[in-house]
Every structure is written in C-alpha cells, then in structure tokens.
Amino acid sequence: MSAGDPPPSRFQLLRAHPIFPVLVFVALSLIIRDNYPFTHYSMYSNPTPRPLSYCFIADGAEDPLPLLYHTGISPSKLTKRFNKEKGRYEDEGFTEAEIREKAAADVIRYLRQLNSKRKKRLLPEDFQLVRMQISIDGEGFKETPTYFSATTVAR
C-alpha cells in the first residue's frame, strides 16, 4: 500500500481478519438452517415402519451396567456387533430365535474377551446381553426387551 492509496474499507479489513470465515459460516448456517444435506440428523430423513433395536448389558437383576466402563465399547458398537453376528447365521436355515441366540452367544464371548483385558473392571458372572426393540403400536411407543444370559454361554 502506497502513501497515495485510499485507506482500506471496513469490509476489506474484516475480510482480511481471521474471524471472517467463521462469520460467513454462521451466516450460511442461519440461512440454510437444518435442511438436507446440511442436517446433523440425517437418521430422521428416511423413517422406517419396522421396529428399531439397540443392545446393552445388565446384571442378574436386569439393572443396566456401564458398558463402556466394563468393555471399552459403546452401546452403538455393541448393537452393530450383534447385527453383524446375526448376519453370519441368516443364510444357514435357522429360525429367527435361533439366529438371535447364536448371535448373542458370540457377542457375549466377545464381551468377555474385551472385559478380560480390564482386570479391575470385571463383569458380574451373571450379566446379560439385552436387546431392546422399539416399535409403535396403537398406544404409542413400545419397548420390548429380550434377555440373553451370559451364564448359559460356554466360555
């Protein structure tokens, strides 16, 4: 900039400032709002009528246990593991109940393996894998648990 040049405008000064990209992002976010594909909740963009499920662990009295503390994995990863194990048995001619039992047994062995690395955070011997199914009926949301006992699974 030479001595004869006019001073920079306020917009030029703002554009050169490091905060400028943040201001542009905020303005665009306010304009775009929460519309696809900019939504943080894409899971709601394609709802399904079939029941949804998630998994967690519980003690013998059916009280939930802190999964991450005992195994190092989240309930989301546990649910994915259960579904993956179910997929291994689906083409082998088993009933749906048998598929769930076999998948649960594999997941329980996997949880015990993860827990064995956490010597000071041992799982109770009688813990259970719980598969909670969420559905909608005429009265509203309905949660249906299925319990798989770790004591019936061979180590």
What would the mean pLDDT of 31-41 be, rounded to a whole number?
64
Residue 26, both tokens? 């905020």
Is the pLDDT higher at 41 or at 100? 100
pLDDT in tens, 18-29: 898 888 888 887
Q: Provide, rounded to the nearest whole percent, the portion of the chain with pLDDT above 70.
A: 88
- CB of 145 closer than 8 Å to CB of 64: no
φ, ψ for residue 8, nearest 5 deg: -65, 145
Mean pLDDT taken over the chain: 86
Is the pLDDT at 79 greater than 80, yes or no? yes
- CB of 143 closer than 8 Å to CB of 132: yes
CA 105 to chain centre: 21
pLDDT in tens, 129-139: 999 999 888 88
Q: State the pLDDT at residue 139.
A: 85
Please, what is the end-to-end C-alpha distance for the chain in angstroms?
Answer: 77
- In this prediction the pTM is 0.68
